[in-house]
Amino acid sequence: MSEVIRTTRTPPEPALPSFDVYEFDKDTAVTCMETSGVTSVWTADLSAGWNIGANPNGGYVLAVAGRAISAALPQHPDPLSVTAHYLRPAQPGPATITVDVARTGRKHSTASATFVQNGRERIRVLATYGDLSAQEGPTRIEAEAPQIPAMDACISRGSLSDDGSTIAGRVNAMLDPGLGWTRGTPGGTAALTGWISFKDERPADPLSLLFFADAFPPALFDWLPEKVWLPTIELTVHVRGKPAPGPLRGVTRTRFLMDGYLEEDGELWDSSNRMVAQSRQLGMVFRP
Amino acid sequence: MSEVIRTTRTPPEPALPSFDVYEFDKDTAVTCMETSGVTSVWTADLSAGWNIGANPNGGYVLAVAGRAISAALPQHPDPLSVTAHYLRPAQPGPATITVDVARTGRKHSTASATFVQNGRERIRVLATYGDLSAQEGPTRIEAEAPQIPAMDACISRGSLSDDGSTIAGRVNAMLDPGLGWTRGTPGGTAALTGWISFKDERPADPLSLLFFADAFPPALFDWLPEKVWLPTIELTVHVRGKPAPGPLRGVTRTRFLMDGYLEEDGELWDSSNRMVAQSRQLGMVFRP
């Protein structure tokens, strides 16, 4: 466990925010060690401040890998579609990310990455990046933003767990109080809504959506009264827009729990009522 | 264009079907050329019988890569979560698939693959395989199978296009006649339902679900009256069960077309009313 160190800071400039004062940016920083052809090697140092239980949150690990991929693809800084397969739990401490660029095109670039700690691969990633500011074409949406009670009427995720998780020191996840399991009475629809933002008020950006897409507790807690571990096998995030300032609203849902395997679908909506990321993960019910 | 050659055959044994008489199996056959540590190299020969326009269907290409991955992971034959990023259109003819195994575990194995033709990578794949027969755990489902008119009341996809596509010679895709765009009057919900099966009556199996997940026309045709090309950037398929005998029912839907980018979500249901695969792809509207 690490201590959460608060630093005094001034608000970022709207035009060109200096993100290096924020915890998320310090804790996802990557350094290029070597570049050879389409391959580049990056180092990072996972913080213990984003843990669920004793291990770094999967979305945080993905964001670190995602930052290395972004740095390796300077023409296309924004993640558009990012898939991670989780091989082993990550740990706080040093990591090596090796990025292999498959294609650099006019609109998109595609790369894969391995994320290794202590000689063992933790996640493998495949991603296409682009430039969200340059997207143009028709728009038509048949969906509505999630309706959630005001933030101060919601339930802090951190208040619901006492398993040594540190992530509540970094993230405000405020859950809809209508969720049965937050009151100890699960059994509903396995749909979860809530607000989410960084505690230090870092603005959400495309990279951070990779993290936020995996930062709510499992919607399945509404179906399974017993405490179970739900490891993620695979997580895919589609980043669909640059988030407007302000907290995000998230909605996640599980519809098919089949023989211990489940999908969880998620959406993140920004303060301008724009859906900015969709996610889906395949997980499993694990009883040790 | 290839001719579709029909062969006379006897029905497969239920216990151990001999699949080598079917077009899908002949056209997705792979041969191991070399194995070195966790890496193996496979060759395949893409048929021209699965084309959309002049290029092999993306689901077909994925199934060929998926077969090589399955062959490289003999302990875990079934695809569970498979993601492909489409770099360039594939072509009929020879291909080389290189499979790199990231991890072989007790329940799952994970590998990535490159699919190369004429020295250029066409798709890159990241996948976790397992054994669907061995999955066990709780089941709870909050969803209903799609309601579709009887197959003979549906509209053959092949009857709707005259762009040189050959895929209708291999696959029966029968679309719900309620879809506006099949009658020339788009403008509805961008949700598509239909029946799908192989023309030569090959039973659906887990591998073939990778193909079927991308074998319907775009649901977006209900929103965009003009003919557009909708290239897939990324496709992820979750195989959730072994399909029962009989044709599959598919439902696909687009909810967010934003600045020319769209997701398409799909489900495939088997004849026993079991959902056997979920898919999501990120695509874009392309006007040449």
To test the contact with chain B by mutation, choose from A261, A262, A268 the residue with the greatest count of B C-beta atoms within 10 A, namely A261
| Cα–Cα distance for residue pair A84/A58, rounded to 1 Å | 9
**A contact residues 147-166, partner B, Cβ 8 Å cutoff:** none
* pLDDT value, residue A14: 44
pLDDT band at B15 (very low <50, low <70, confident <90, very high): very low
Residue type, B166: T
In this predicted structure, which of A84-88, A159-163, A238-242 has the lowest mean pLDDT? A159-163
- Does A12 have pLDDT greater than 60? no
| Cα–Cα distance for residue pair B165/A222, rounded to 1 Å | 47
Residue B210: name the closest of B36, B22, B58 by CA: B58
| SS3 call for A222 | helix
* pLDDT value, residue A145: 94
| Cα–Cα distance for residue pair B205/B77, rounded to 1 Å | 11
* pLDDT value, residue B119: 98
Phi, psi of B63 (to 5 degrees): -65, -35
Selecting from A139, A190, A234 the residue whose C-beta is nearest the C-beta of B257 gives A139
Residue B199: name the closest of B172, B165, B175 by CA: B172
Helix and strand numbers, DSSP H then E, in chain B:
3, 17
Contact A137 B259 (CB under 8 A): yes
| Distance (Å) of CA A105 to CA A108, A109, A146, A230 | 5, 6, 36, 37
pLDDT band at B3 (very low <50, low <70, confident <90, very high): very low
**What's the average model confidence in pLDDT over B190-203?**
95
Residue B2: name the closest of B45, B44, B43, B51 by CA: B51
- The bridge status of strand A275-284 relative to strand B39-46 is unpaired
* pLDDT value, residue B288: 65
Note the pLDDT tens digit of each residue in B76-97.
Answer: 999 999 999 999 999 999 999 9
* pLDDT value, residue A101: 98
B199 touches chain A (CB under 8 A): no
ipTM > 0.90 (yes/no)? yes
| SS3 call for B49 | coil
pLDDT band at B221 (very low <50, low <70, confident <90, very high): confident
Nearest CA in chain A to B189: A142
Residue A232: name the closest of A190, A208, A262, A277 by CA: A262
C-alpha dihedral over B81, B86, B89, B94, to 10 degrees? -50
Taking phi first (over 0 means left), then psi (-120 to 50 degrees means alpha), and beta for anything else, what does residue A64 get?
Answer: alpha
Q: Say what the pTM is.
A: 0.93
pLDDT band at A18 (very low <50, low <70, confident <90, very high): low
**What's the average model confidence in pLDDT over A66-77?**
97
A71 or A10, which is more confident? A71
* pLDDT value, residue B6: 35
Q: What is the mean pLDDT of chain B?
A: 91
Nearest CA in chain B to A286: B137
Q: What is the mean pLDDT of chain A?
A: 91
Q: For chain B, what percentages of helix, strand and coil (3-state, to nearest 5) are there?
A: 20, 40, 45
State the residue for tokens 């799952």. B108
* pLDDT value, residue A162: 73
B229 or B282, which is more confident? B282
Note the pLDDT tens digit of each residue in B19-75.
Answer: 678 999 999 999 999 999 999 999 999 999 999 999 999 999 999 999 999 999 999
**What's the average model confidence in pLDDT over A249-262?**
97
Residue B252: name the closest of B227, B218, B285, B226 by CA: B218
pLDDT band at A2 (very low <50, low <70, confident <90, very high): very low
Kindly write down the DSSP assignment for every residue of B216-285, as one continuous string. Answer: SPPGGGGT--S--B--EEEEEEEE-SPPPSS-EEEEEE--EEETTEEEEEEEEE-TTS-EEEEEEEEEE-
Burial class (CB in 10 A: 0-12, 13-18, 19+), A184: exposed
- Does B181 have pLDDT greater than 80? no
- Does A6 have pLDDT greater than 80? no
Angle (nearest 5°) at CA B46 between B42 and B52: 140
Contact A240 B261 (CB under 8 A): yes
Residue B45: name the closest of B25, B69, B19 by CA: B25
Which residues of B are less than 8 Å from A105 in CB distance? 87
Share above pLDDT 70 across residues of chain B, in percent, rounded to a whole number: 92
- Does A15 have pLDDT greater than 50? no
* pLDDT value, residue B8: 38
**A contact residues 60-119, partner B, Cβ 8 Å cutoff:** 80-81, 83, 85, 87-88, 102-103, 105, 108, 110, 112, 114
